[in-house]
Structure 1
Amino acid sequence: MAEKIIIATDKAPAAIGTYSQAVKVGNTVYLSGQIPLDPQSMQIVSEDFSAQVVQVFDNLTAVCTAAGGSMSDIVKLNIFLTDLSHFATVNEIMSRYFSQPYPARAAIGVKELPKGSLVEMDGVMEL
């Protein structure tokens, strides 16, 4: 079995539970869910949905960079939303962080997310 390497950066929120920000096995990096926490204050950045999405993408970017990759290396992205009517906003903001070919993606409506977040994302990156 390939060695597991734990990825951690202070440029993304510290893990608030029994998990790592990401785990690298071989050339694959499994990114834990990111919510819109400011890495310094560990507080939700804003009640504004767009600001929350931007922070989540910024947090994912920081973890990707710490793992030796970039957002363009994400092959699968999962998006969890407490209100699926915000999906057009997610698409618009996502276009600032990704270009074609886009990763595979799922969008899932959920009842609630940690700390009252409106959005959470996780993914898989291939280096």
Structure 2
Amino acid sequence: MVEAVNPPDVWSPFGAFSMAVIQGDGQVVHLKGQVSLDREGRVVGPGDMRVQVRKVLENIRDVLAAMGGQMTDVISLVHYATDIDAFMAAGDIRKEYFVAPYPVTTTVQVERLYRPELMIEIASIAEIPRSRFRRPGPGN
């Protein structure tokens, strides 16, 4: 069974997706690809990869926190960047959010994301220990 999670502190899904899904008994969590949107769905940092990377990682952190998760629980990331050189130049920002052992990663350059102002989307998978995991209430 898969259960959807849409925390109220992150922008609301506007299509056929959830911010995260919980697989099985709730330890493995698959997060929707996060983009640089604020809670109201406005783009943060148009044209600025560094600002967008930071906001995307904050969104991942906030979605995980809604279930008792932390950035250290992230085991896999897939980066979709519209400018891979700009993304690679923002690598130091990731070190503010992750510590060794780092998640496995895949990075690809794409022509564009669903909104032209967006430069980066990051999908992730986390494993939250049972001791910290909390299943969000209805509507989250």
Q: Report the CA distance between 1:90 and its aligned residue.
A: 3.2
Whether the aligned pair in 1 keeps the contact of 2:30 and 2:125 (CA below 8 Å) is: yes
The equivalent of 1:5 in structure 2 is 3
Secondary structure in structure 2 of the residue aligned to 1:67? coil
Misfit runs of 4+, over 4 Å: none
Percent pairwise identity: 29
Give 1:12 shift: 1.4
| Structure 1, 83-92 or 24-33: larger mean CA deviation | 83-92
CA distance in 2 between partners of 1:74 and 1:110 (Å): 23
Counterpart AA for 1:123: S
| Structure 1 position 7, deviation (Å) | 1.4
Gaps spanning 5+ residues in structure 1: where? none
Deviates more, 1:89-98 or 1:28-37: 89-98
Q: Who is 1:43 aligned against?
A: 42
Bigger CA radius of gyration: 2
Give the unaligned 5+ runs of structure 2: 129-140
In the TM superposition, residue 11 of structure 1 has moved relative to its aligned partner by 1.6
Counterpart of 1:57? 57
CA contact (8 A) 2:50 2:87 kept: no
SS at 1:57 equivalent: helix
For residues 67 and 15 of structure 1, what CA distance do their matches in structure 2 show? 17
The yes-or-no answer on 1:104 pairing with 2:89 is no
- Higher percent of residues as helix: 1
After the TM superposition, which residues 1-127 of structure 1 pair with which residues of structure 2 at under 5 Å, given as runs? Answer: 3-25=1-23, 26=25, 27-40=27-40, 42-47=41-46, 48-116=48-116, 117-127=118-128
CA distance in 2, matches of 1:8, 1:68: 14
Alpha-carbon distance in 2 for matches of 1:6, 1:45 = 25
Amino acid at match of 1:58: E
Q: CA deviation at 1:4?
A: 2.2
Give the whole-Å Cα distance in 2 for the aligned partners of 1:16 and 1:118. Answer: 19
SS of 2:96's equivalent in the other structure is helix
Q: Distance in 2 between matches of 1:114 and 1:43?
A: 13
